[in-house]
Amino acid sequence: MSLLRVVGRPMLASMFVAGGLESVRNPQNVAPAAEPVVRAVTDRVPVLPDGTEQAVRLNGAVQVAAGLLLAAGRMPRPAALALAATLVPTTLAAHRFWEEEDQDRRVQQRIHFLKNLAMLGGLLIAADDTGAAPSLLWRSRHAAHDLRRDAHLVQRSFRAGARPAAAAGRVRAVLPR
């Protein structure tokens, strides 16, 4: 594993572990801001808890678990996807800069929104990072290609061997016994 991955993954994950712990410990601090987004999401996904504080805690727990997995380099691709999935509602709930009346708060919320957007981009790159190993899709395509090539070689070998065998059989049929 490259040094950049060893250093970069924990740096990217640190924000999620810290924020997730805060959400798990004190969901009431962010529940009022999360209410409109939680309501909209729970209406569409019935598996999620109906209560805002429970949904905030669940989101925080996922961030802590996935952040630790990403930081440790264990299952980094699914962990990055899980973090990306939690970041979208978090950003939409906490950084609604378009609704701010005060210009200074609007600027601050826009900065936080863009920061989260940048982190989302980093998570998507991390989710696509195969760690210099070929992806499963690449390996399956190349295995299929190799299999087709081997089958073609076997077919050519069979035909090449069949011609002399057929000729020998014709000669043998003509020879007296």
What string of pLDDT tens digits covers the 177 residues of the chain? 688 888 999 999 999 999 999 999 999 998 888 888 888 888 888 888 888 899 999 999 999 999 999 999 999 999 999 999 999 988 988 888 998 889 999 999 999 999 999 999 999 999 988 776 777 777 888 888 999 999 999 988 888 888 888 788 888 888 877
Q: Is 8 exposed, middle or buried (0-12, 13-18, 19+ CB in 10 A)?
A: middle
Dihedral in degrees, nearest 10, Cα atoms 29, 111, 39, 99: 100
Contact 71, 78 (CB under 8 A): no
Yes or no: say if 80 and 8 are a contact pair by the CB < 8 Å rule: no
CA distance 162 to 156: 10
Q: Which class for 23: exposed (0-12), middle (13-18), buried (19 or more C-beta within 10 A)?
A: buried
How far apart CA 172 and CA 177 sit, in angstroms, is 9
User: By the 8 A CB rule, do 120 and 164 touch?
Assistant: no
pTM, full prediction: 0.71
How far from each other are the two terminal CA atoms of the chain, in whole angstroms?
71
| Cβ–Cβ < 8 Å for 33, 94 | yes
Contacts of 139 (CB under 8 A, 6+ apart): none
